[in-house]
Amino acid sequence: MDIDIHYGPGNAAARVQLGANERVTAEAGAMIAMSGDMNIETTTHKAGQGGVLKAMRRALAGESFFMNHYTASSRGGDLWLATTLPGDMKVFQLADQKLIVQGGSFVAAPPSIDIDFGWQGFKTALAGEGLFWLHISGTGPLIVNSFGAIYPIAVDGEVIVDSGHIVAFDETLDFSITKAGTSWISSFLGGEGLVCKFTGTGTVWCQSHNPPGFGKALGPMLRPR
Amino acid sequence: MHTVIEGGPTFAHIHVDLAPGERLTAEADAMASMAADIGMQARLNGGFFGALARRFLGGESLFVNDFENATQATRRLTLTQATPGEIRPVALKQDDGGICLQPGAYIASTPGVEIRLRYAGLASFIGREGLFKLHAVGEGTLWYGAYGSLLEQPVDGEYIVDTGHLVAYDPGLQLKVQLAGGVFASFFGGEGLVTRVEGRGTIILQTRSLSGLAGWLNPRL
């Protein structure tokens, strides 16, 4: 499997070239073009697994996250992936590593990468704004996308990231939902509300722009249907 | 204080390295990430009544955040804006008259900068640009941003600007909101109300406008 990112950082799209019968799992809706003989299967979970419990867990967490599984024919094939908001994409090459990816940032990964929803109802509910987290592990490439540019923060100690700005982070980091600054009142009044605090050693990849923030700026100008 | 703007012009965001004891004020919700031991305190944007006036008449947030590095080492704070676009710093001097900002353009400023509210006139209110305008004065640096890129246009005499595209201007300039052309051209030509800028100075425009995007989307919803 070959992946290259084109047209970043403004309008990034990923071209995934699959070998004969090779397979890749992508977020539903990310495909913009593909070879004519590509096979697609849609599930609520990883292909080839029952996943009833995991699907239930996700239903409990209030998420419906569909995955499309693309399988190339015996001649191989191409797949172009892109996302809705203007922004960049990044490919992580995981080597038996664990990464936690914000649900909206996940684009695609091959079957050698395990995608798990984990149990996150509580933290998700607190963080609000429709956020959920994918636990990614294994060996192979992982494609993520961002609203705006991606900047890494090397955490050694404690770092606060506004929840709408998280793309992914190393599983070695401890993650909690908290207030920004010293007081809860101040955090809410100052418009930051609940933020994510990372503790330990590892990297957080942030996106320069905040999808819910953009929604809040544009939303009031739109007419109700 | 060391600052660098990255991701520009499309996805500009500001990395601010605060030295021990340094402070910075930023628009509510401008913080994207920061070291957890940077102090953050919300404050009414210019006193109780001033904040109310700014919020409801000037179109700004009710609160701003004061960030302070009370630690013994340099700490990083990253600030951004809601829309994808360019961010620019402007260095203000005590006697240079400052800069006027349209609602929503302000992102952050150093402690020596004061944001005042000035009466903008009824015409501005009718043009949905607020009854008051923001006037930044003092000594220090201010960052403002826009949707799209920022372009500078010198004015000597008069100039017409689509109201939604004006971001900032020299305080000496006079602004008047008017119809783009005749009544027919104004409402069917798609320009509606425009701003007539008079005097001598510089205006700063954004190459996109959020109200323009909303106007395009609305009939398609």
For the segment B89-116, what is each residue's pLDDT rounded down to a tens digit? Answer: 999 999 889 999 988 899 999 999 998 8
A25, A111 contact by CB (below 8 A): yes
Establish if A189 touches chain B: CB-CB under 8 angstroms: yes
Report the SS3 class of residue B127: coil
Nearest CA of chain A to the CA of B204: how many Å?
21
E strand or H helix at B210: helix B210-217
Residue A198's DSSP bridge partners are A159, A175
Nearest CA of chain B to the CA of A125: how many Å? 20
Query: Rounded to an integer, what distance in angstroms lies between the CA atom of residue B193 and that of residue B204?
Result: 18
Tell me whether residues A10 and B221 touch, CB distance under 8 A. Answer: no
Would an 8 Å CB–CB cutoff place B206 in contact with chain A?
A: no
B34 in reach of chain A (CB within 8 A) = yes
Return the H-helix or E-strand segment holding A168. strand A166-170
Q: Residue B148 forms beta bridges with which residues?
A: B85
Of B7, B140, B13, B136, whose CA–CA distance to B77 is shortest? B13
Residues of B in contact with A225 (CB under 8 A): 221
Say if CB B39 and CB B20 are below 8 A apart. Answer: no
Residue of A nearest to B26 (CA): A190
B143: number of CA atoms within 13 Å, CB side? Answer: 25
Which residue in A214, A216, A222 is closest to B214 by CB distance? A222
Of residues A1, A203, A14, the one with CA closest to residue A100:
A203
- Per-residue pLDDT 10s for chain A (225 aa) are 999 999 988 899 999 999 999 999 998 889 999 999 999 988 775 545 555 566 555 555 444 567 889 999 999 999 999 988 999 999 999 999 999 998 889 999 999 999 887 655 545 545 555 577 888 999 999 999 999 999 999 999 999 999 889 999 999 999 888 877 777 777 777 677 778 899 999 999 999 999 988 988 898 889 887
Contact B63 A189 (CB under 8 A): yes
Of A143, A136, A54, nearest to A101 (Cα)? A136
Report the chain B residue with the minimal C-alpha distance to residue A185.
B42
Cα distances (angstroms) measured from residue A220 to each of B86, B88, B147, B165, B211 = 23, 26, 16, 18, 10
Alpha helices in A61-197 (DSSP H): 121-127, 184-189
Looking at residue B165, the DSSP 8-state letter turns out to be G
Indicate the pTM of the whole model: 0.86
Residues 6+ apart with CB under 8 A from A220: none
